[in-house]
Amino acid sequence: MAGGTWSETDKPERAGFYMRFVAAALAAIQPGVRGILAMPVKANWGPAKEIKEITSEKELKDTYNIEDTGNYTAYPCIRLALLGGIKTVLAYRLVDGVAAKASINLQDGAAANVLKIDSKYPTTRGFKVTTRENLVDSVNKQDLVLYENTTELFVFTFDKGVSVVDNAVAAINGNSQNVWIDATKLDNGAGTIANVVSQPLAGGNDGSAGVVNADYIDAMSVFEARIFNAFTLDGATDAALQTSVAAWVARLRNEGKKIIAYLGGSATDDADITVANARSNGFNYEGIVNVGVSAQLDGVLYPSSMVACYIASKGTGQALRESLTYAVTPFDDVQPRLTDNQFVSALRAGTLVLMHDGEKVIIERGINTLTTLSEDQDDAWKKIKIIRIIDAIDVDTTQAAHDNYIGKVLNNNDGQAALLSAIKKYFETLAPTLINGDFTVEVDTELQANALGDEFYWKWNARVIDSMEKIFGTGIIRY
């Protein structure tokens, strides 16, 4: 369905519901189901080039295993996101062109290959198999024991006989508890499967070492078909990739898919706040948040590019009435701890930074990278909270128009009044918590005067109730 932004000199051709925002037109809504974060990751396990929904640490472990070494980012980055309170992480496992499943061929007594065992996913996990006579019924049954290194994972039991290969395939592939291997029949052979002891599955490649920017861009194309509210990388800091992300976000936002991307730099970048500030200046966009400092959690120092996974979750999952400013994080410390002048320079550049207040680590201010305002913008556009509010109102009113009005009501006074009445009722639910009660929803008479037969122009005006972020006091001393 069509939607997005419009201007008086560039009206979209497709039928749809289009919104534009100017500085005097801010509003807020109660949060709906907006806690969805998209993230490409690298892992040693899990479905490749496929989106998986992760809602808990158990699902994370079950889907991608726990592997914190090498190039693997799935577990640490998604875990950071889950700590931020996000409802759902849409994860996409990146792999390069040499990713491969590990496998082994089992033979019959005549040394003919009869059964192939493959890992379910491309991996270097240390799977091994043992085939043996069943310990209870050695005459009629046989076992295939699956190990990871020296740890026994599962025992598959099947009937012997002329159909032993078919029986083994059925026992392995038909077991609902089997999340590790697939079996393929190669040949009937002599109707036997020879016993082997602790034979490794070989040839596996997790496909993480050769991941390039093009793989991330492919993932972004896949994400486009899904509904999500925020996007982050898995610690990737390549400037060209981040530039591509920024352009992608701008295009999607212009097309009506209101997402915010959260990015950051390397640990080396984080050592100098001016590097982060230069990165923010390069983005200068309300749809991009740039994190500028590293943070420590449980003895592990995460660069800002990974801290961004937490910030993306926190900023997306919290209620719209809340702000990221002074939000408490689970981190133990930040690196570096900025001076007052450095904090000011970061805020002026549009860099989101964290600080240690002596007891805990909090977010200094919930800002995006926008610093150069257009004529339709004011300083409110620099706040993540306000952009989320604008995005939410856009998404909600657009969806309502698509479902109930476009192509369904006549474009006359009665039809227009029905639409405006529904929108007014919608706005009434926002006051007085998020907007003042003096909002207006009305026909844009100036533009409607020259409207075509299928066009309807309307406008709304509301005063948003922002979060209290600056408190100024005066002390009067008497003697």
Q: Residue 353: which of 323, 392, 326, 330 has the closest Cα?
A: 326
Tokens describing residue 37:
């974060």
Q: Could you tell me the two tokens for 196?
A: 């082997």
Let me know: does 302 contact 296? Beta carbons within 8 Å.
yes
Distance, in Å, from the CA atom of 41 to the CA atom of 67, rounded to the nearest integer, reads 12
User: How far is 146 from 153, CA to CA, in rounded Å?
Assistant: 6
SS3 readout for 271-300? CCHHHHHHHHHHHCCCCEEEECCEEEECCE
pLDDT of residue 23: 44
Decide if 366 contacts 385 (C-beta within 8 A): yes
pLDDT tens for 261-314 read 999 999 999 999 999 999 999 999 999 999 999 999 999 999 999 999 999 999
Amino acid 27: pLDDT: 30
Tokens of 457: 């122009």
Which pLDDT score is estimated for 479?
Answer: 83
Chain center to CA of 369: 19
User: 3-class DSSP state for residue 317?
Assistant: helix
Phi and psi at 98, nearest 5°, equal: -110, 10
With residue 345 as reference, give the H or E element that holds it.
helix 340-349
Which of 62, 52, 61, 94 lies closest to 79 in space, CA to CA? 61
CA distances 138 to 72, 196, 222, 245, 467, Å, are 43, 15, 50, 60, 72
Residues in contact with 476: Cβ distance below 8 Å, sequence separation at least 6, in sequence order: none
Residue 78 identity: I
Contact 464, 379 (CB under 8 A): no
Show the low-confidence residues of the chain (pLDDT under 70): 1-34, 67-70, 465, 468, 470-471
Read off φ and ψ for residue 310, nearest 5 degrees.
-70, -45
What are the φ/ψ torsions at residue 242 (nearest 5 degrees)? -65, -35
CA–CA separation, 261 and 130 (whole Å): 48
pLDDT of amino acid 464 = 73
Provide the sign of the torsion angle of the four alpha carbons 246, 251, 253, 259, taken in this order: negative
How does DSSP classify residue 337? P
Is the peptide bond between 47 and the residue preceding it cis, with omega within 30 degrees of 0?
no
Q: What is the pLDDT of residue 33?
A: 42
Residue 429 is predicted with a pLDDT of 79
Q: What is the pLDDT of residue 158?
A: 98
Cα 349 from chain centroid?
25
- What is the C-alpha separation between 295 and 337, in angstroms, rounded? 10
3-state secondary structure of 350: coil
Q: How far are the Cα atoms of 120, 302, 338 from residue 193, in angstroms, in the given order?
A: 22, 49, 66
Residue 54 in 3-state DSSP? strand
Report all structural domains of the chain as residue ranges with CATH numbers, in order of start: 36-95+211-363 (3.40.50.11780), 101-200 (2.60.40.4290)
